[in-house]
Structures are given as structure tokens and as C-alpha cells.
């Protein structure tokens, strides 16, 4: 019943419609029509629109994680790589603002196996982003700041965009990206010499491959009520 590639096409179509019309305003009928299918045929693949949300989210994150990997392994300075990583991330956030806002609201009500799937996708993305920051710290191009927390600061600033960004506002996505790059990269760049920073990093016993200080990888696993369930599912 399922043809290879057809499910991916379904996810991409759903994502495009969620982006263009918003998740709530998109119906299964809309998705079927856009794919040239009868609505009934969609039910070979998914039971409901809600069943598309997590796979579409994972699919998006995985695509962007691959882009981060390309960026990390490309030629160029750490600064150039991080510029591309931030620009890519901001573009993803702007393109999928609706889905990210939705995700924040819905994640806690997902069944545990879906939460775990989302968590794994987020972690894979975050680790790749962090690796780019870490490269710059290791070469001394960036300051000897904790790469994990620096990455979370940058991702957080970007991830907050759906709370305030309005398409067609007076500042274009490019202008916002330029401001973000200016602010975030200047703070990270180590103007005071490469080797000094590298040495101080190792003196501080904050080896680049240590676990991120202060950031537990699965905070959701520990107690203290409702709020901390979210922490383990942190979006990218």
C-alpha cells in the first residue's frame, strides 16, 4: 500500500501547507488535493492530521541537521561556518514558525514514544550545531566559552523568533539575520589571540569533549512536577 517516497511527499506537502495556511487551517482534504489524491487514500498513510505533526517535525529537523553537518565539514573559518549555521537556523525558524510555536504547546500532551522520537531529533540537531561552536573554540577562533551553553544561547535567541516576528514587518529576514550575526558572533569571537584561548580552555579542564557543564542531557528524567517534563524535550 505504501509506496517508497510517497510518505516523504506527504510530509513535505503537509509541511508546506502548515507553513502557508497554518496548521489549524489545513485540512486532510487540503493535503489530499495538493497531492492529487482522494482524501480516503491519505488514510493509508496516517490516521489524522495530528499524526502528521511529529513526523513532519522530525523530518524537518533531520533535513536541517544534515545541512549543519555539511556546514561543519565544509572548508572555511569557524566564523563562516557559524554564520551559515545561524542563518540556516533562522531561516528554518522563519519558514516553520507556525510548527515551532505549535510544537511548544503540544509536546507535553504527546504520548511518550512520540516525545522520545522528537527528543532524539532535537538532540541530534543540537549536537551538530554545538559541534560547529566547539570547532571554533578548539581552534581558538572563538573564546573559551562552554560550547554547549553558547550553542543553547544562540539557538534560544533564534527559537524565540516565532514569539515576535511578523512576516512582512518593517525589517526583512535578512536584516534580522544580519543583526543576529553581528550581535552573536562578535561576542563569541576571540580577538585576543588563538592559542591563549585554547590553553585557558584546557587549563580550566573544560575539555571540548566533556559533557556540557550544567546542562544535563535528559533533565526530564528527574522530578519536580510538570515544568521539567518540557526540559527534556527542548526543541532544537
Tell me whether residue 38 or residue 194 sits nearer to a copy of itself (CB atom): 194
Among 8, 25, 29, 70, binds a copy of itself (CB under 8 A): 25
CA-to-CA distance for 177 and 181, rounded, in angstroms?
6
CA-to-CA distance for 10 and 154, rounded, in angstroms?
32
Residue 185, Cβ density class (10 Å: 0-12 exposed, 13-18 middle, ≥19 buried): middle
Three-state secondary structure string covering 75-131: CCCHHHHHHHHHHHHHHHHHHCHHHHHHHHHHHHHCCHHHHHHHHHHHHHHHHHHHH
Q: Looking at 8-16, 27-35, 44-52, 178-186, which segment touches a copy of itself (CB under 8 A)?
A: 178-186
Check residue 22 and report its DSSP letter. -
Interaction between residue 192 and a copy of itself (CB under 8 A): no
Tell me whether residue 7 or residue 217 sits nearer to a copy of itself (CB atom): 217
Check residue 206 and report its DSSP letter. -
Among 6, 22, 35, 37, binds a copy of itself (CB under 8 A): 22
Tell me the site size for a copy of itself, rule CB under 8 A: 67
Beta bridge partners of 189: 142
Query: Minimum CB separation from a copy of itself for residue 205, in Å?
Result: 12
Interaction between residue 111 and a copy of itself (CB under 8 A): no
Three-state secondary structure string covering 34-53: HHCCCHHHHCCCCCCCHHHH
Interaction between residue 196 and a copy of itself (CB under 8 A): no
Tell me whether residue 8 or residue 20 sits nearer to a copy of itself (CB atom): 20
Among 47, 108, 194, 200, binds a copy of itself (CB under 8 A): 108
Footprint of a copy of itself on this chain (CB under 8 A)? 21-26, 97-99, 101-102, 104-105, 108, 143, 145-146, 149-150, 152-167, 169-172, 175-176, 179-180, 182-188, 211-216, 219, 222, 224-228, 230-231, 234-235
Amino acid at each position: 500500500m505504501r509506496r517508497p517516497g510517497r510518505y516523504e511527499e506527504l510530509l513535505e506537502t503537509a509541511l508546506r501547507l502548515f507553513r502557508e495556511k497554518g496548521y489549524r487551517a489545513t485540512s486532510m482534504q487540503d493535503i489530499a488535493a495538493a497531492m492529487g489524491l482522494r482524501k480516503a487514500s491519505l488514510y493509508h498513510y496516517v490516521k489524522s492530521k495530528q499524526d502528521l505533526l511529529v513526523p513532519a517535525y522530525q523530518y524537518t529537523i533531520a533535513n536541517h541537521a544534515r545541512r549543519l553537518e555539511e556546514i561543519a565539514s565544509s572548508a572555511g573559518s569557524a566564523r563562516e561556518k557559524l554564520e551559515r549555521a545561524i542563518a540556516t537556523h533562522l531561516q528554518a525558524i522563519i519558514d516553520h514558525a507556525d510548527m515551532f510555536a505549535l510544537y511548544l504547546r503540544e509536546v507535553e500532551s504527546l504520548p511518550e514514544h512520540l516525545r522520545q522520537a522528537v527528543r532524539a531529533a532535537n538532540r541530534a540537531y543540537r549536537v551538530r550545531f554545538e559541534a560547529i561552536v566547539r570547532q571554533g573554540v578548539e581552534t581558538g577562533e572563538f573564546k573559551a566559552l562552554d560550547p554547549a551553553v553558547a550553542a543553547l544561547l544562540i539557538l534560544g535567541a533564534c527559537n524565540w523568533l516565532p514569539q515576535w516576528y511578523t512576516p512582512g514587518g518593517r525589517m526583512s529576514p535578512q536584516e534580522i539575520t544580519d543583526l543576529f550575526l553581528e550581535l552573536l558572533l562578535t561576542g563569541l569571537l576571540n580577538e585576543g589571540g588563538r592559542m591563549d584561548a585554547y590553553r585557558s580552555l584546557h587549563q580550566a579542564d573544560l575539555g571540548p569533549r566533556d559533557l556540557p557543564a550544567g546542562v544535563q542531557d535528559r533533565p526530564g528524567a528527574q522530578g519536580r512536577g510538570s515544568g521539567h517534563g518540557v526540559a527534556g524535550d527542548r526543541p532544537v
